[in-house]
Amino acid sequence: MDTFSKQFIDFTISHQILKFGEFKTKAGRISPYFFNLGLISNGLGLKKLGEFYGNFILDKNISFDMLFGPAYKGISLVSSTAIALSSQKLNKDFNFAFNRKEVKDHGEGGQIIGYPISGNVLILDDVISAGTAIRESIEIIKSQGGNPEGVVVAIDRQEKGQGELSATEEIRNLYNLNIHSLICLDDIIEYIKQDDRYSQYLSSIEMYRAKYGI
């Protein structure tokens, strides 16, 4: 496991973003682990999260013109990542936008908050499960005249989507998009193997991967 992956998993566990136990997923599967970036609820945690995304994006040399985050979790992601990228250390300034769940019919109106969508747009989200939020984001970006350039998520669960392919592969093939993840399930398994505190969960996670993994 590389240093970045270990540091990010350390961060997610310390903020209870990554938990082990028994959880029901949106797809109805009983998962031995749960990942939820929505549990970040303080300034220092959000700052660090943005730095993880920002450093990852620059390290992978991902080319784009602006950031887009699907409501709701994507809102804090694109905000914190844009701030991190504009810091003195990273020195890259990018515009960002996110959508409303419901179109506003008064005031400034519309569905988009932030910079008008244009050019090549990088989508930021926490996890691809069924891929619904990413598909909606792609359609929103296209409808606004932008070009979906790629996707960055915190974790690739490496699970089957609607067929035998993973949700990540389905979206990659359907839209011809590059999809990047800070970590994947394999990283979590490797982490557990190296840390006795979580060894009790190893067998259940490996059984889950054997049943639902790709």
Domain boundaries, the chain: 3-212
- Residue 86 pLDDT > 80: yes
What's the pLDDT at 179? 94
Identify the CATH assignment for 3-212 out of 3.40.50.1220, 3.40.50.2020, 1.10.3720.10, 3.30.420.40.
3.40.50.2020
Q: At what angle do helices 185-193 and 3-14 cross, to 10 degrees?
A: 90
Integer-rounded Cα Rg, in Å, for the chain is 17
Among the listed residues 104, 160, 193, 211, the single catalytic one is 104
- Residue 42 pLDDT > 70: yes
Among the listed residues 106, 160, 180, 211, the single catalytic one is 106
Question: Is position 104 annotated as part of the catalytic site?
Answer: yes
Outline where the chain has alpha helix (H): 3-14, 43-59, 73-85, 132-143, 167-175, 185-193, 202-212
The whole-angstrom separation of Cα 17 and Cα 36 is 5
149-204 pLDDT, tens digit per residue, is: 999 999 998 888 777 788 888 888 888 999 999 999 999 999 999 999 999 999 99
